[in-house]
Amino acid sequence: MANVIVIGSYVTDLMTLTPHLPKPGETVLGGPFQMGPGGKGANQATAAARSGSHVTYMTKLGTDIFGEQALQYFKNEGMNVDYIKQDPTEITGTAQIIVDQHSENSIAVALGACGKITKEDVYATEEKFKGSDIALVQFETSMEAIQTTIELASKHHVPLILNPAPYRDFPKELLTKVSYITPNEIEASELSGIKVIDELSARKAAERIYEMGIPHIIITMGKQGVYLYTGEGTGELIPAFSVHAIDTTGAGDAFSGGLAHSLAAGKELKESIRYANAVAALCVTKLGTAPAMPHKEQVEHFLKESGEVKSDSYS
């Protein structure tokens, strides 16, 4: 079985549908309301676990009701929860999400406990790095946790996927220890200094990011597809799948989690990107984030039935 270790965030998603996103000072009547597990780390861990990987997940929760619900959720998903910490002095993180009728969203996150993960918390998982096929980390936790995760993956020669979301300043020397990076257009623009709007600009941004020391650049570009650059030639734009999107909130996380599973299972990179595209496409056809992640059987059926065509699914 593929073994994936994920270090990252957990927040309880509080999601409301509205006719449009509120302007500053505006109150919009909406509904329905949905509450459930979320956070980039939890979403990506769920996508990998439902795809068939054995997932060890490390995060930090509060001791409140949201934290207890989170622990039960991870157990129900079959993840290894031995390294999840609970902090009695911090709240469990929350995300207030508004989704409009065009599937656009606006999100405000209070990280709470998962924003206080320490290097000691991450070092407690070191034995699990030794037996992992892939490590996965995002920018939605403490920089201390992110740096330690990258260092441990490098120490134990575990390929690491960095999802630099939400983008923030960080020590660029860490990138020489990253195997794969999965920014969307905005994050790739921030990292490279080149605004990504199409295939040509994606290539220029990817070339600049490649020069920072990462061998595999994977830029998710919404309906345009995924731009892959590995330092050879001009790169390649891999088409996305065509679906009717209802909620795009967790699509990038679905992609990174699906990619982690497929690479951990030993699939080659382009095949893994196609698999991750399918996970993301199925995710956006449902409301929510972690609960919307598809299961392995659904993804495999979708891949058999679908062709690689342009999509409005995710970025």
Residues designated as active site: 253
Please check if 12 is assigned to a binding site.
yes
DSSP-assigned beta bridge partners for residue 55? 4
Please check if 277 is assigned to a binding site.
yes
Please check if 288 is assigned to a binding site.
yes
Please check if 114 is assigned to a binding site.
no
Please check if 247 is assigned to a binding site.
yes
Is the separation of the CB atoms in 38 and 12 below 8 Å?
Answer: yes
Please check if 224 is assigned to a binding site.
yes
Please check if 42 is assigned to a binding site.
yes
Please check if 41 is assigned to a binding site.
yes
Angle between the 296-305 and 269-283 helix axes, to the nearest 10 degrees?
100
Please check if 223 is assigned to a binding site.
yes
Q: Which residues are annotated as a binding site for K(+)?
A: 247, 249, 283, 286, 288
Q: Which residues are annotated as a binding site for substrate?
A: 11-13, 39-43, 140, 253
Q: Which residues are annotated as a binding site?
A: 11-13, 39-43, 140, 184, 220-225, 247, 249, 252-253, 277, 283, 286, 288
Q: Which residues are annotated as a binding site for ATP?
A: 184, 220-225, 252-253, 277
